[in-house]
Structure 1
Amino acid sequence: MLLRLPVSLSEAQECLAEGAIPIGGATLVWATWQRDGFPEQAMSLRRLPEANVIGREELGAAVMLHQIDERVPEVLRRAAATVGTGAVRRTATVGGNLVGSTLRCLLPAALVLNAGAVVLESDGVRETDLAEVLAKRHLLLGLRWREPIASAYRKEAGEAGGPPPFVVAAAVHADGVRQLRHLRVAVRDGYDVLDDSVPYDTGADADQVVDLLQDTTIGTLHSPGRAVVRRHVRELLAGLPR
């Protein structure tokens, strides 16, 4: 197998046109290739500058999970820190986790940030939403978002060999036009991911805000899941100034 390492967008496009298979850290595809056979060409974005950015409002797809630090919002940093083992985090990438994994551990965090996706196609770079990226498995270059006022992430304890642990992520955002706020919440329940948002009145207490979530898709959760969301949102809002 020939591994290609483009250093520019034009080189990456050339690799795609010539049939190179995009990989992240190859943590998820290696066993499959050993079983079914290796492709003739693969492509890694680890040397592509556009896929390696880390900032308060952007994150490249080739960034390895252990590299995600205080430069990004807390919800995304904590989500990355809970993925697998230290060895996995030193190899797995943002793009591989979001596009190549069935668990998609970073997805709830990305959703509550209202993150958009930057993708590379044969005719250039464009921005789209995460739903399209996941459905069509585009080549992800990175994520972009507007920094939230506050954010938080929680992963419940799971059982070895059992279903994926329950995850809840939340973020409070400012509305730049009306100077209002809204709360966005996302959960991973098994392999399903739900997300929704509600307006957040700084004069309301946390229980009033959580009650609004009962009329969204989050309200369709089972009782234990709703209880975890309630605790999580209470703790996030408690730390915000009135």
Structure 2
Amino acid sequence: MLLRLPTSVSEAQECLAEGAVPVGGATLVWATWQREGFPELAMSLRKLPQANVIGAERLGAAVLLGQMDGRVPDVLRRAAGTVGTGAVRRAATVGGNLVGSALRCLLPAALVLDARATVLESDGVRETDLAEVVAKRPLLLSLRWSAPLACAYRKLPADAGAPPPLVVASALHAGDGAGDGEGGGAGYGVRVAVRDGYEVFEGAAVTGADPEETLESLRATALGDLPAAAWAVVQPQVLDLLARER
């Protein structure tokens, strides 16, 4: 297998045109390759500057999970810190987790940040939403978002071999935060994302004087389909986040 390490977007685009298979830390594909055969040409983004940025409002796809620290929002840092073992986090990448993993442990955190994705295709670079990243699995270069006012994350414990543990992430944003124009951009908004099994549910609401009204607004979104056990985690997390608003 020949591994290409492009140092510019144009080089990465050429690699794609040549049929190179994108790899992150290869933590998810190595066993498959050993079983089914290695590709003739692969490509890693670990030398591409645009894919290695770490900041308060941007994160590169080639960043290792173990590199995520206080420079990124706490919801992302904590999500990365719960993935696998230390050895896995020293090899696995942001892009590999979001695009290549069935669990997508970073997805709830990215959703509550209302992150947008920059992706590379054979005809150039463009920006898209996370729904397309999950559905079509393009070559992810980076994520960007507006820094939240506050955020929270919780991953319940689970036994080995058991179904994926429940994950609840939330973030408080300036403006309505709901993504649908309600509230005219005034006040605050809260976004919540929950991974229940292999499915991820999300919802957003404008916050009001009564926290219970905000919870009811969230129940009117896709989050309302969650079981009571999930809401037992969502409710206190959202209430705590709203308390920071005041």
C-alpha distance in 2 between matches for 1:8 and 1:25: 19
Alignment of 1:1-242 (within 5 A): 1-175=1-175, 178-201=185-208, 203-204=209-210, 206-240=211-245, 242=246
Which letter does structure 1 place at the counterpart of 2:243? A
- Structure 1 residue 178: Cα displacement: 3.4
How far apart are 1:237 and its partner, in Å? 2.1
So what's the TM-score if we normalise by structure 1? 0.96
Runs in 1 of length 4+ with deviation above 6 angstroms? none
* SS at structure 2 position matched to 1:54: coil
Give 3-state SS (helix, strand or coil) of 1:28's partner. coil
The sequence identity of aligned pairs, in percent, is 67
Hey, what's the Cα distance between the residues in 2 that align with 1:114 and 1:223? 25
Query: What's the CA shift for 1:34?
Result: 0.3
Alpha-carbon RMSD: 1.2
Gaps in structure 2 of 5+ consecutive residues:
177-183
Cα distance in 1 between the residues matched to 2:8 and 2:51? 10
- Counterpart of 1:186, as a letter, is A
**Residues 132 and 178 of structure 1, relative CA distance in 2, 3 Å threshold:** closer
Task: Using the TM superposition, give the Cα deviation of residue 107 of structure 1 relative to its aligned residue in structure 2, in angstroms.
Answer: 0.2
What is the CA-CA distance between 1:217 and the residue it aligns to?
A: 1.1
When the two structures are aligned, how many residues end up with a matched partner? 239
Paired AA for residue 207 in structure 1? E
Q: For 1:213 and 1:137, how far apart are their aligned partners in 2?
A: 28
